[in-house]
Amino acid sequence: MTAPHIIRHAAEYAAHLLGFSALGIAPAHADQGERLQNWLAEGQHADMEWMERHLPARLNPELVLPGVRSVIMLTYEYPRHDSRCTSGAVARYAQGEDYHKLLAAKLADIDETLSFYGGTQRCFSDSGPISERFFAAQAGLGWIGRNGLLIRQHGGSYCFLASILTTLELPYDSPVTNRCGNCHRCEQACPTAALKNGSCDARRCLSYWTIEAHQDMPDDIRAAQGNHLYGCDACQEACPWNTPRPGAPLRPIDPHLLMPATFAAMSSEKLSQLSQQEFEQLFAGTPIRRIGLEHLTANVRNL
């Protein structure tokens, strides 16, 4: 039987070759407390009912993968700057291609490596009933900040999270200290006051209203939309941990995640006039495509 630390090293090596910036491992049955249940009970998930449906699996990874022992968490960098050079800001994570598909192929390669050592895996990147931020914090990759995001001492919060549930028992990492201290800049920067006590109330969040919502934006939220076309990074922009430290090396960004020049330079007026065919061609294979032309056009009108 191969020693667990050797298997971990193999996974780390594969992850590095595939472009992941960090890997940490947490016990699959770590106690998640009642934070998520309380958030749902207060209705802060708005009309995202799938969160309630998946709650049992989120709290018990055994329901996702019977026999699971370890949760491998990985980070993958995305752009730190909005490439739009005209009106209508786009969240950094959605600048380029759809990260779900991009990371799925990479996770499949690590899955193959772990299978060689006798493991059975389930892999996700923001696509399954896994409390990824919780497990990322348990795996020592960072801490959950007041904006509800995972924040890393070296790297901040501009990263995707990916998870691999495995039946292999691997060496675990330890959580790190929360370094938000007395800083409340993210809460103060939120245009709609959606952040409170380390969580985000989707009912007030611009990311929810410009991406997930299936109803018209309330007047008070519309008044605060400002230049946000798709998503909102206000809390990340305000976070001091997202300011590169002097002398710190810049982590490379996958070219697939960079914004195409055509979209970067397209005016809001042109966006508001897109035909269905033009919309499909412009946003094929991107996160923006899933909100549809009607929702995008409504967002443009509100700018």
**Is residue 254 annotated as a catalytic residue, yes or no?**
no
**Can you read off the two tokens belonging to residue 85?**
């050079």
pLDDT, average across residues 131-156: 97
* Confidence (pLDDT) at 127: 87
Please report, to the nearest 10 degrees, the dihedral formed by the alpha carbons of residues 27, 28, 33, 38 taken in order: 140
- C-alpha 144: how far from chain center: 13
pLDDT, average across residues 31-57: 94
* Confidence (pLDDT) at 131: 96
CB atoms within 10 A of CB 40: 15
pLDDT, average across residues 182-204: 95
248: pLDDT strictly greater than 80: no
* Confidence (pLDDT) at 250: 76
246: pLDDT strictly greater than 80: no
220's enclosing H/E stretch is helix 219-224
Indicate the pLDDT class of residue 252, thresholds 50, 70 and 90.
confident
Q: What pLDDT digit, counting tens, does each position of 167-189 carry? A: 999 999 999 999 999 999 999 99
- The answer to whether the pTM exceeds 0.75 is yes
Q: Domain limits of the chain?
A: 4-78+96-166, 185-302
Q: Which of 186-195, 239-248, 259-268 is the least confident region?
A: 239-248
126, 173, 216, 254: which is the annotated catalytic residue?
126
Judge whether 291 and 211 are in contact, CB under 8 Å. Answer: yes
* Confidence (pLDDT) at 130: 95
**198/184: higher pLDDT:** 184
* Confidence (pLDDT) at 17: 97
Judge whether 286 and 105 are in contact, CB under 8 Å. Answer: no
The per-residue DSSP string of 71-131 comes to: EEEEEEE--SS----SSSEE-GGGSSS-HHHHHHHHHHHHHHHHHHTT--EEEESSSSS--
200: pLDDT strictly greater than 80: yes
